[in-house]
C-alpha cells in the first residue's frame, strides 16, 4: 500500500490574504503565517501579503490571486467575532463558501485562517496566545496541501 502525504516545504510563490478588520488579531495571524513560511524555507521575496478590508473580501481577492496563476498556494487570514446580530453568520459563511469555491475551481490550496469566535479574548488566544497560532496552522495546511497536490499530479516528490 502506498501512502502519500504532503511535506512542509515551499511550493513556489505564496499569497497571504489578510483582513484589516480586527487587525489586532489578524496581524498576529500574519506573524504566524510568516513563521510557517520561514520554516518551509520560503524566501520573503516569494511571499505576497495582500490586505483586504474585511473577511468578506477574502473570497474575491483569493479568486483573482488564484486566477492570476502566480501562486502555488494561498493563505486567507481573518477574524469575525460574534455580535448580537446575524451579521456574524453571513460574513463567516460567505467567506468560507467563497474560499472553498476558489480552492476547488482553481485546484489551488487555500489555507483557512478565518477565526470565528464568540469573544475577542478567544480570538487573541488563537492568534499566538494559549491556543497557538491559527495563522501558522493555516499556512502549514496550504503548504502541505500544495506539496501533496504536486505529488498526486506526478511532480517529483
Q: What is the dihedral sign for C-alpha 133, 134, 137, 142?
A: negative
Specify whether 107 is catalytic: no
The helix/strand/coil state of 135 is: helix
Q: How far apart are CA 108 and CA 121, in angstroms?
A: 32
Of residues 24, 38, 70, 87, which has the active-site annotation?
87
User: What's the Cα-to-Cα distance from 133 to each of 68, 84, 114, 116, rounded to whole Å?
Assistant: 29, 26, 12, 14
- Which residues participate in catalysis according to the annotation? 87
Amino acid at each position: 500500500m502506498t501512502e502519500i502525504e504532503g511535506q512542509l516545504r515551499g511550493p513556489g510563490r505564496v499569497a497571504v490574504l489578510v483582513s484589516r478588520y480586527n487587525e489586532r488579531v489578524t496581524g498576529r495571524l500574519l506573524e504566524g503565517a510568516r513563521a510557517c513560511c520561514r520554516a518551509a524555507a520560503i524566501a520573503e521575496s516569494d511571499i505576497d501579503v495582500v490586505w483586504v478590508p474585511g473577511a468578506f473580501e477574502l473570497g474575491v481577492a483569493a479568486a483573482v490571486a488564484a486566477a492570476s496563476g502566480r501562486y502555488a498556494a494561498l493563505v486567507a487570514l481573518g477574524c469575525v467575532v460574534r455580535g448580537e446580530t446575524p451579521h456574524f453568520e453571513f460574513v463567516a459563511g460567505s467567506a468560507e463558501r467563497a474560499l472553498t469555491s476558489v480552492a476547488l475551481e482553481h485546484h489551488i490550496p487555500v489555507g483557512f485562517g478565518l477565526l470565528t469566535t464568540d469573544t475577542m479574548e478567544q480570538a487573541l488566544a488563537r492568534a499566538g496566545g494559549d491556543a497557538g497560532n491559527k495563522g501558522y496552522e493555516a499556512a502549514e495546511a496550504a503548504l502541505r496541501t500544495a506539496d501533496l497536490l504536486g505529488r498526486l499530479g506526478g511532480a517529483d516528490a
